[in-house]
Amino acid sequence: DQQVKQNSPSLSVQEGRISILNCDYTNSMFDYFLWYKKYPAEGPTFLISISSIKDKNEDGRFTVFLNKSAKHLSLHIVPSQPGDSAVYFCAASEGGATNKLIFGTGTLLAVQP
Amino acid sequence: DTAVSQTPKYLVTQMGNDKSIKCEQNLGHDTMYWYKQDSKKFLKIMFSYNNKELIINETVPNRFSPKSPDKAHLNLHINSLELGDSAVYFCASSQAGQGGIYGYTFGSGTRLTVV
């Protein structure tokens, strides 16, 4: 049973435009949501997170939006750059002592020059 | 100066063999993890240690045994390797209680191929 889902396996965007990556979850006990970026043959790298008590968090070109009632979050990248081409993973945590992160299956973003 | 380092990066071995993957972090974190990324690219947690104590043990065959000699090291030993064990294994670390806010720091992965 996948608690974190990314229904779009891939996304293609033109350089300079906005990239919107989506993620849905089923567990209402999650209290933190995170986005990771992964290049081939490398480990995932942390991008941005948001607490469940907020609905928006921004860091430079990256903004994460959280809609708790819809159990949905999205990552906006503006403007998109060719170097943003990578697999993006959504993850969620219940917090607590274990801080276990549960990952979605990823979305491959291709930013076309 | 690598934060989380795993060795080896690639591992090809025959079915039935026993192998180990090593992980070390120099971030001063007290919690370390092993994740498995299968052929469908799904990242799934296997184990977590906090200060050498096992705190997460997901449904993993007991052929997999983690060992943490100290809080900077978490090794993964796999006995009697099977074809289905072929995957990329990622080590990660975080400070206890902060993994949700600041995320984990991942190593670059070990690609295990069982033939």
A39-59 tens-digit pLDDT? 999 999 999 999 999 999 999
User: Which residue's structure tokens are 């990578």?
Assistant: A86
DSSP string, chain B: --SEEEE-SEEEE-TT--EEEEEEE-S--SEEEEEEE-TT--EEEEEEEETTEEEEE-S--TTEEEEEEETTEEEEEE-S--GGG-EEEEEEEE-TT-HHHH-PEE---EEEEE-
Q: Please check whether residue B92 touches A, CB under 8 A.
A: yes
- The per-residue pLDDT string of chain B (115 residues; one tens digit each, 9 = 90 and over) reads 779 999 999 999 999 999 999 999 999 999 999 999 998 888 999 999 988 889 888 878 999 999 999 999 999 999 999 999 999 999 999 987 777 788 899 999 999 999 9
Looking at residue B99, its pLDDT comes to 75
Q: Please check whether residue A105 touches B, CB under 8 A.
A: yes
Q: Please check whether residue B115 touches A, CB under 8 A.
A: no
Looking at residue B89, its pLDDT comes to 97
Q: Please check whether residue A93 touches B, CB under 8 A.
A: yes
Cβ–Cβ gap B45/A36 under 8 Å = no
Q: What is the rounded average pLDDT of the residues A25-37?
A: 95
Beta-sheet pairing, A4-5 with A19-25? antiparallel
How many CB atoms within 10 Å of residue A83? 9
Nearest CA in chain A to B107: A43
How many CB atoms within 10 Å of residue A12? 11
Confidence at A108, pLDDT banded by 50, 70, 90: very high
Contacts of B43 in chain A (CB under 8 A): 44, 89, 103, 106
Q: Can you say how many angstroms the Cα of residue B26 is from the centroid of all Cα atoms in its chain?
A: 16
Cβ–Cβ gap A44/B90 under 8 Å = yes
Confidence at A28, pLDDT banded by 50, 70, 90: very high
List the strands of the sheet with B64-70, edge to edge.
B4-7, B19-25, B73-78, B64-70
A99 vs B114, residue with greater confidence: B114
Q: Which of A8, A75, A99 to mutate to test the interface with B (most CBs of B within 10 A)?
A: A99
Among A17-21, A64-68, B23-27, B53-57, the range scoring the smallest mean pLDDT is B53-57
Looking at residue A12, its pLDDT comes to 98
* pLDDT averaged over every residue in chain A: 95
Chain B 14-73, residues with CB within 8 Å of chain A CB atoms: 31, 35, 40-45, 48, 50, 55-56
Confidence at A102, pLDDT banded by 50, 70, 90: very high
Cβ–Cβ gap A97/B99 under 8 Å = no
* pLDDT averaged over every residue in chain B: 92
Q: Please check whether residue A43 touches B, CB under 8 A.
A: yes
Nearest CA in chain A to B91: A43
Q: Please check whether residue A36 touches B, CB under 8 A.
A: yes
